[in-house]
Amino acid sequence: MTPAISVAGLTRRYRDQVALDDVSVEIEAGSITGLLGRNGAGKTTLLRILAGQEFQSSGTVNVLGAPPAENEHVLRRMVFVREDQAYPDFKVRHALRAASWFYPNWDAGLADELIADFDLRPNKVIKKLSRGMRSALGITIGLAARAEVTLFDEPYAGLDAVARQIFYDRLLTDYAECPRTILLSTHLIDEAAALFESVVVIDRGRVVLEAAADGLRGIATTVSGPVLAVDEFTAGRPVWNRRRLGSQASVVTVGQLDEAARAKARSLGLDLMPLTLQQLVVHAAEWPASPEAANLPPQAMEGASA
Amino acid sequence: MSTLVKVARYHLVQPFQYLLLTWMVLAFTFVVNVVIFGVTPVRQHMVPTANGLVSAASMDGRYTGALCSFFIIFLVLGVQSIGRSLPFGLTLGVSRRSYYMGTALLAVVLACADGLALAALQAIERGTGGWGVQMGFFRVPYLLNGPWYQTWLTSFVGLGLLFVYGMWFGIVYRRWSLVGTLAFIAAQVTVLLGAALVITWAHGWTGVGHFFTGLTVAGLTGLLAVLAVGLLAGGHATIRRATV
The answer to whether residues A140 and A254 belong to one domain is no
Is the pLDDT confidence value at B72 over 50?
Answer: yes
Give the mean pLDDT of A98-110.
Answer: 95
Q: Which residues of A touch B17 (CB under 8 A)?
A: 89
The DSSP 8-state label assigned to residue B147 in this structure reads: -
Q: Is the pLDDT of residue A74 over 60?
A: yes
Which pLDDT value is given to residue A287? 60
Residue A291 pLDDT exceeds 70: no
Per-residue pLDDT at A160 exceeds 70: yes
User: How far is residue B221 from each of residues A89, B21, B65, B72, B144, measured CA to CA in Å?
Assistant: 34, 26, 18, 18, 11
- Domain containing B175: what range? 3-42+54-239
Establish if A94 touches chain B: CB-CB under 8 angstroms. Answer: yes
Same-domain check for residues A41 and A135: yes
Q: How confident is the model at residue B159 (pLDDT cuts 50, 70, 90)?
A: very high
User: The domain containing residue A179 runs over which residues?
Assistant: 3-211
CATH number for the domain that contains residue A294: 3.30.70
Q: Which of A38-47, A90-99, A258-267 has the highest mean pLDDT?
A: A90-99
Interface test with A, best of B5, B80, B92 (most A CBs within 10 A): B92
How much is the pLDDT for A254?
85
Overall domain count for chain B = 1
Helix (H) or strand (E) holding B161: helix B148-201
Q: How far apart are CA A226 and CA B116, in angstroms?
A: 89
On the question of pLDDT at A276 being above 60, the answer is: yes
B chain contacts of residue A85, beta-carbon cutoff 8 Å: 87-88, 91
Share of chain A above pLDDT 70, in %: 93
Residues A205 and A259 in one domain: no
Residues A226 and A205 in one domain: no
- pLDDT band for A1, please (50, 70, 90 cuts): low
Hey, is the C-beta of A102 within 8 angstroms of any chain B C-beta?
Answer: yes
Q: Is residue B193 part of a domain?
A: yes
The answer on pLDDT for A304 being more than 60 is no
Considering only CB atoms, which chain B residues are within 8 Å of A97? Answer: 13
Please tell me what DSSP assigns to residue B20.
Answer: I
- Identify whether B29 is part of a domain: yes
Q: Is the pLDDT of residue A271 over 70?
A: yes
Are residues A138 and A244 located together in one domain of the fold?
no
Asked whether residue B209 is assigned to any structural domain, the reply reads yes
Residue A199 near residue A27, CB atoms below 8 Å:
no
Other Cβ atoms closer than 10 A to A232: 13
Average pLDDT over residues B169-182: 96
**Signed CA dihedral, A217, A219, A220, A226: sign only:** positive
Is residue B32, in this structure, part of any structural domain at all?
Answer: yes
Percent of chain B with pLDDT over 70: 100
A55 and A36 part of one domain:
yes
Q: Which residue has the higher pLDDT, A96 or A287?
A: A96
pLDDT band at A294 (very low <50, low <70, confident <90, very high): very low
Cβ–Cβ below 8 Å for B92 and A80: no
DSSP label at A27? E
Q: Are the C-beta atoms of A41 and A22 separated by less than 8 Å?
A: no
Check whether A295 has a pLDDT greater than 50. no
Query: Which among A55, A70, A97 has CB closest to B95?
Result: A70
CA distance A28 to chain B (A): 21
Name the residue in chain A with its Cα closest to that of B99: A70
Task: Band the pLDDT of A237: cuts 50, 70, 90.
Answer: confident
Question: When comparing pLDDT for A148 and A288, which is higher?
Answer: A148
| ipTM exceeding the 0.90 mark | no
A168 and A240 co-located in one domain: no
Among candidate residues A211, A239, A273, the one where a domain is terminated: A211
Maximal C-alpha separation, chain B: 72
CB atoms within 10 A of CB B207: 11
Computed over every residue of chain B, the mean pLDDT equals 93
Q: Are residues A129 and A226 in the same domain?
A: no
Residues of A whose CB is below 8 A from B98: 72
Q: Which of A170, A191, A211 marks a domain boundary? A: A211
Q: How many domains does chain A have?
A: 2
B48 assigned to some structural domain? no
A233 with A265, same domain: the answer is yes
Higher-confidence position of A27 and A240: A27
Do A207 and A74 share a structural domain?
yes
Residues A47 and A151 in one domain: yes
Mean pLDDT score, B46-74: 87
Determine the Cα–Cα distance for residues B90 and A62; give it in Å rounded to an integer.
18
Q: Are A27 and A176 members of one domain?
A: yes
In this predicted model, what pLDDT tens digit does every residue of A185-222 receive, in sequence order?
A: 998 888 888 899 999 999 999 998 888 888 888 888 99
Which of A146-160, B40-54, B74-88, B128-142 comes out lowest in average pLDDT? B40-54
Concatenated DSSP letters of A122-146: TTSBGGGS-HHHHHHHHHHHHHHT-
Q: Spell out where A17-157 has E strands.
A: 17-28, 32-36, 58-63, 78-81, 149-153
**CB spacing of A79 vs B93 below 8 angstroms:** yes
Chain B residues with a Cβ under 8 Å from any Cβ in chain A: 1, 3, 6, 9-10, 13-14, 16-17, 84-85, 87-88, 90-98, 240-241, 243-244
Q: Which of B87, B93, B97 sits opposite A102 (nearest CB)?
A: B93
Whole-angstrom distance, CA of residue B45 vs CA of residue B54: 8
Q: Which residue has the higher pLDDT, A302 or B152?
A: B152
**In-domain check, residue B36:** yes
Q: Domain boundary at A211, A226, A254, which?
A: A211
Using an 8 Å CB-CB cutoff, list chain B residues near A88: 14, 84-85, 88
